Structures are given as C-alpha cells and as structure tokens.
C-alpha cells in the first residue's frame, strides 16, 4: 500500500461533460451498434426465478421494502458474510438499485466532508453534488499501488470534522479490491477518525483474483453492525445480471436504516413490487441461488483470464494496478500512441471502429491517458472488440510513421 496521497478539494469531480462519457462509453450518438468494452453490464441472462412472478396485488410497497424480503436479504447476507454476527431485517433497506441508494446515503450524510477515493465510478458525481457536501478526491500517485493504505486514509480523514470515506469495493473503474487485514485496517482508520465508511459493493460477487478465503466485504470485518460507522450497498444489477430489475439494498446500523427509510419514502420510493417479489422468489430458492453463484464464478473466472491474456498481446496498453475484481481493467495508453488524451482516443475508437470504452481522464490528470475496459459482455463480442482496439492502435501509430 502506498505511503502518500494527493488530495483535491472544491468540487473536483468530473472536468469533462458527463454526456460525452456516456456517448463513447455506451452508445454512439446515432445509436449504431457498438462492441461493448464500455458499459459495465453483464452480458448474461438473469436467473429465471427472478422473472417468474405471480402477483395478486400491485399496491404500494411498505416503507423500506416488503418485510419478508428484508428478512430474506438479512439471511442471505448472514449466510455469505456474517455467520456469527448476524444482522436482522432492521439493518436492511430495499432500494431501487445502488444509484438511488447512493443518493440516499449522500442525503443522510448531508454537510459531511466526503473523501471520494479515486479513481471513482463516474456516477458518484450526482449523489454527491446533491448532498451539499464538502468534497475532496483522494488518490494514490503510484500506478502500481492504486489503493491508498489504511494509515494514509486515517491521516487524511483526521484533518476534517465529520469525514466520510466514499468508495466502491471491488472498485469501479480499475478492478482494485481492498480485502483481508487491509480492509479491516481501513475501516479501523475511518472509524478512528470519527468517520463513516460508505462502501458501494455493487460487484461483491466478482472477486476472481482475490486470494481464496480473504474477506472482501466490509460486512465480514465489522463487529456489531448496529454500532458500526458504515453503510454498505448491494445491487441485483451486477451480481444477479439484472440491471433492469432496479433493485438492491443498503445495510447499516438500524438507527441509520430507519432514518434512511423515512428519506426513501420522499426521495426515491422503494422498488416496484414486481422486482421485490422476483427477488424474494429467487432468494427463497437456495438451489437456484447456488447454481447462479457457481455459474457466475466460472464464467467470470474464465472471461477474466481470457481478457488478461489477450490484453497482454496488445502493444501499447499497460494494465493499471492489480485488477482483482469487478469486471474492469484500467489501462494506460502508451505515449507513442498519438492521441491528445483518453477521451479523444475513446471517442475516435467508438465513432470510427464501433468499440465503446470509458475514458478515465475525468478522474484527474493522473489518469489523462487511462481508459476503462469492461469484460462484462459475452466473450465473442469482447474478442472482436479487443481485436479492433488492437488494430486501431496499430493504425494510429502508423499514421505518424
Ligand atoms: C460502483 C457502482 N455503483 C453503482 C452502480 C449502479 O448500480 P445500480 O444499477 O444498482 O443503480 C454501478 C453501475 O455501473 C457501479 O459501477
């Protein structure tokens, strides 16, 4: 872990226009087909149990989500992360996915000093701009060790009152994963500085490169969740391959959760009952959940290996840090590739070759020539996209002789 960090203040998030990132990252302006190395979407079908729903009534959801669903989510979480330190339904708020969950977290932490760990998920900008926070980006300046060490984080957070560490783990966009003792130490540093740890764990099932048996979720390292200074967000969008279901959950101390439930009534509303019943059916079917988890592991172990192997054959891109989780790899573009910055590279790649990627120069000048590549799509599509990326780089280099 690195010993020093850079801190940027006064609303440093996103110097380039967000709709421009979306255009090159997911869709071209004309809506023409793209080979997706951009958008963070799993290419596989969701488990059918999520979709087989018999509804007898379609009323409003109870505040915080259906009580049976909150119960079942608590059981699912205990089985995976907290066999000895169980949480209850009071620690669970059902959300319409992590993005609205982040907005609720931002709202409840209003006027706190929020330290966003870079590189960060581009959409963190919306909830944090709504919340009237004092915003800082903190970032390692060591490309080989892009995760900030626990003591560095503790020292930075201690400089402000009401600090919050805001990050994703596994991390979007570079696949870094904070795990084991380092994760526990980071939580201790945040709590020691009187802070709150907001851990967006949208990719919690995708920890393919982490040494076996090492905890990767903050849920595993916390003792009594009701006394913890933490909020943890999970979603069906990635883990269950179902972004359109718009369902997820926030876990935290019951005192936080009851305030968040009040907020969710006025701010985001709970997800539709269709999605809640679908998730309930799925989570109640232990065999289906187990089959899904096994399949996910296998598919993403394989895709990750193929992806890293193929990337190693592309001249001109260098992997950033250690992508152990999520389904992202950030790469630096070699200086002999003629391009003003990552954004202009990604834009041409999308418009001229139909391949989407996410330029990371929105993060800071340290990521000026970095792009995020997703291996969420089906392998056949990824394979073609990487071929096109490789050819594009060769053509660019040749164009300057
Ligand atoms: C880190 C992170 N958090 C949240 C989201 C959004 O999740 P949801 O679809 O549940 O709103 C994403 C989607 O890409 C993400 O990468």
Residue closest by Cα to atom 14 of ligand 1:
40
**How much distance in Å is there from the Cα of 170 to the middle of ligand 1?**
12
pLDDT attached to residue 1:
46
Specify the CATH number of the domain 5-44+290-394: 3.90.1150.10
Count other Cβ atoms within 10 Å, centred on residue 395. Answer: 11
pLDDT attached to residue 126:
75
Sheet holding 134-140, edge to edge: 5-8, 134-140, 113-118, 163-168, 196-200, 230-235, 248-251, 92-95
Contacts of 56 (CB under 8 A, 6+ apart): none
- Between CA 348 and CA 357 the distance in angstroms is 10
Residue ranges, CATH 3.90.1150.10, the chain: 5-44+290-394
**How much distance in Å is there from the Cα of 291 to the middle of ligand 1?**
24
pTM: 0.94
Residue closest by Cα to atom 2 of ligand 1:
202
pLDDT attached to residue 125:
80
| DSSP character at residue 214 | -
pLDDT in tens, the chain (401 residues): 444 566 665 555 655 565 666 666 665 555 555 788 988 889 999 999 998 888 777 888 999 999 999 999 999 999 999 999 999 999 999 999 999 999 999 999 988 999 999 999 988 887 777 666 788 889 998 888 999 999 999 999 999 999 999 999 999 999 999 999 999 999 999 999 999 999 999 999 999 999 999 999 999 999 999 999 999 999 999 999 999 999 999 999 999 999 999 999 888 889 999 999 999 999 999 999 999 999 999 999 999 999 999 999 999 999 999 999 999 999 999 999 999 999 999 989 988 898 999 999 988 889 999 999 999 999 999 999 999 999 999 999 999 87
Q: What is the DSSP string of 30-41?
A: T----EESSS--
> Which ligand 1 atom sits nearest the alpha carbon of residue 39?
14
Residue closest by Cα to atom 7 of ligand 1:
98
Among 97, 116, 167, 235, say which to mutate for ligand 1: greatest number of ligand atoms within 8 Å of CB.
235
Residue ranges, CATH 3.40.640.10, the chain: 50-285
pLDDT attached to residue 100:
95
pLDDT attached to residue 337:
96
CATH of 50-285, one of 3.40.640.10, 3.30.420.40, 3.40.50.720, 1.10.3720.10: 3.40.640.10
Ligand 1 pocket list (CB less than 6 A):
40, 97-99, 121, 168, 172, 200, 202, 235, 237, 243, 248
**How much distance in Å is there from the Cα of 397 to the middle of ligand 1?**
35
> Which ligand 1 atom sits nearest the alpha carbon of residue 41?
14
**How much distance in Å is there from the Cα of 98 to the middle of ligand 1?**
5
**How much distance in Å is there from the Cα of 391 to the middle of ligand 1?**
31
pLDDT attached to residue 11:
53
């Amino acid at each position: 872990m690195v010993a020093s960090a850079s801190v940027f203040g006064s609303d440093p998030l996103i110097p380039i226009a967000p709709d421009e990132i979306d255009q090159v990252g997911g869709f071209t302006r004309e809506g023409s087909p793209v080979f997706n190395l951009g958008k963070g979407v799993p290419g596989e079908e969701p488990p059918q149990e999520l979709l087989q729903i018999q509804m007898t009534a379609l009323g409003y959801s109870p505040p915080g989500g259906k009580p049976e669903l909150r119960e079942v989510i608590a059981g699912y979480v205990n089985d995976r992360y907290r066999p000895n330190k169980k949480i209850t339904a009071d620690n669970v708020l059902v959300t319409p996915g992590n993005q609205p969950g982040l907005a609720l977290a931002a709202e409840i932490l209003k006027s706190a000093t929020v330290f966003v760990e870079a590189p960060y998920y581009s959409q963190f900008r919306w909830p944090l701009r709504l919340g009237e926070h004092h915003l800082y980006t903190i970032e390692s300046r060591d490309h080989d060790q892009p995760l900030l060490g626990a003591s560095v984080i503790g020292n930075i957070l201690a400089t402000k009152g009401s600090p919050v560490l805001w990050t994703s783990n596994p991390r979007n966009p570079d696949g870094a994963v904070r795990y084991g003792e380092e994760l526990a130490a980071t939580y201790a540093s945040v709590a020691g500085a009187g802070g709150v740890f907001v851990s967006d764990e949208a990719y919690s099932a995708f920890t393919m490169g982490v040494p076996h048996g090492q905890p990767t979720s903050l849920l595993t390292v916390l003792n009594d969740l009701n006394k913890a200074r933490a909020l943890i967000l999970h979603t069906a969008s990635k883990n269950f391959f179902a972004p359109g279901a718009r369902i997820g959950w926030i876990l935290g101390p019951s005192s936080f959760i009851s305030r968040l439930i009040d907020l969710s009534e006025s701010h985001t509303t709970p997800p539709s009952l269709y999605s809640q019943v679908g998730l309930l059916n799925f989570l109640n079917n232990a065999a289906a959940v187990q089959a899904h988890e096994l399949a996910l592991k296998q598919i993403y172990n394989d895709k990750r290996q193929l992806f890293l192997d193929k990337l190693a054959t592309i001249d001109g891109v260098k992997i950033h840090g250690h992508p152990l989780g999520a389904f992202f790899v950030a790469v630096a573009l070699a200086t002999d590739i003629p391009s003003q910055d990552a954004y202009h590279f990604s834009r041409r790649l999308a418009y001229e070759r139909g391949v989407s990627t996410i330029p990371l120069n929105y993060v800071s000048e340290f990521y000026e020539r970095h792009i995020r590549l997703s291996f969420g799509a089906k392998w056949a599509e990824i394979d073609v996209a990487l071929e096109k990326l490789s050819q594009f780089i060769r053509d660019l280099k040749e164009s300057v002789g």
